[in-house]
Amino acid sequence: MAFFIVSISVAAPAIFADEISVSNNGAGSSNTIVIDTSSTSTVEQANNADIQNNVDVTANTGDNSVSSNNADAHIITGSIDSTSSINNENINSNFAENQECGCSDETSSAIDGNGSDSINNLNLSFINAMNVSQENSAQITNNLTTNASTGNNQANNNNGNVGIETGNITSLISIINKNINLNSDFQGKNNGSISISISNNGSGSINSIVMFFGNSSNYVSNNFTDIKNNVVQNLNTGNNIANGNNGAVLIVTGDIMSVITIGNENINGSFFKEQCNCSNIIPPPGGGNPMPIGDPPVGAQPSSSGSGSSIGGPGQILGAAIGQILPATGAYWILLMTILAITMFLAGGVLRFGSDSSPPLAYAV
């Protein structure tokens, strides 16, 4: 009797690429290979931003006074062009990308060439856990105040003609808060391949390959944003006064053009994408009968019941005594020995309960 156990525990994204084989063992031997692999990926990201933008613009060409003159009076004020821009972009951006799922790159499993009446078991377990936690917090306050005036001009008590011409006011305000608290996580790019073979084993042998895939993904994303946009404008070309003049009075006020743009774009966005496929079954080299399996379920847990040759649900593989893989029918002498044992048991019962009673005690003495 030979007993062989191999236990491997791996805590890395790429598990292994190897050939696993139970082969060329003698008759009546018992051989077991147990491989347990685990892969854990943990990503934690935390950001905090506190931004305050304060802009105060004051422009004045007004408040002009012409009074008590013996000739003509003329007031011409200049124009005001004011441009204010606040741009907050790409605040608290997290990008996590894991190129591997923890799948087996190339794994070959085979039970081959073992003797008759041998018991050969090969158990593989692939468990991949991925935890991603992203947390963002941003507080943005935009305060913008513009005071522009070409007015408040006075021309009083003049003996001639009076003219007041104020300039134009152009005010452009732009506040852009863009790409605030964005989380992006892309997991998994690789696809593993597994070949399975049970072949050329002796009669009466019991052979099984059990494979389990369990993938669990835990993605947590928390975003918080407090944005305040405050814009105050005081624009004036009026409040012009011309009183007590002896001539003609002309007051021409300028134009006011105000453009305010406030854009809050792409606030609090989380993107998660998982691309994992650990179930690409390929034919093994040199024959065998590979059995396809479906995609592994997310968050699947291994079964805890018994030692059966299959585990329920998609993502598991059973390679035991199916079709032409195993000639495990046994020999006729096993049946004959069983019948003989039953016959001897029944004969013993007849002899025990069907015999005559013992002689009386007096005759025995």
> How many Cβ atoms are within 10 Å of 65's Cβ, its own excluded?
12
State mean pLDDT over 39-51.
Answer: 84
User: Per-residue pLDDT for 124 more than 50?
Assistant: yes
For residues 221-242, average pLDDT: 91
- Tally of CA atoms within 13 A in the half-sphere of 117 that contains its CB: 6
> What is the tens place of the pLDDT at every residue in 152-194?
999 999 999 999 999 999 999 999 998 898 888 776 655 566 7
278 contacts 298 by C-beta, under 8 angstroms? no
End-to-end Cα spacing for the chain: 56
* Cα 276 to Cα 189: distance, rounded to the nearest angstrom: 7
Distance CA 140, CA 226 (A): 6
Distance in angstroms (rounded) separating the CA atoms of residues 184 and 127: 24
Distance CA 10, CA 98 (A): 17
**Residue 227 one-letter amino acid:** I
Q: What is the pTM of this model?
A: 0.56
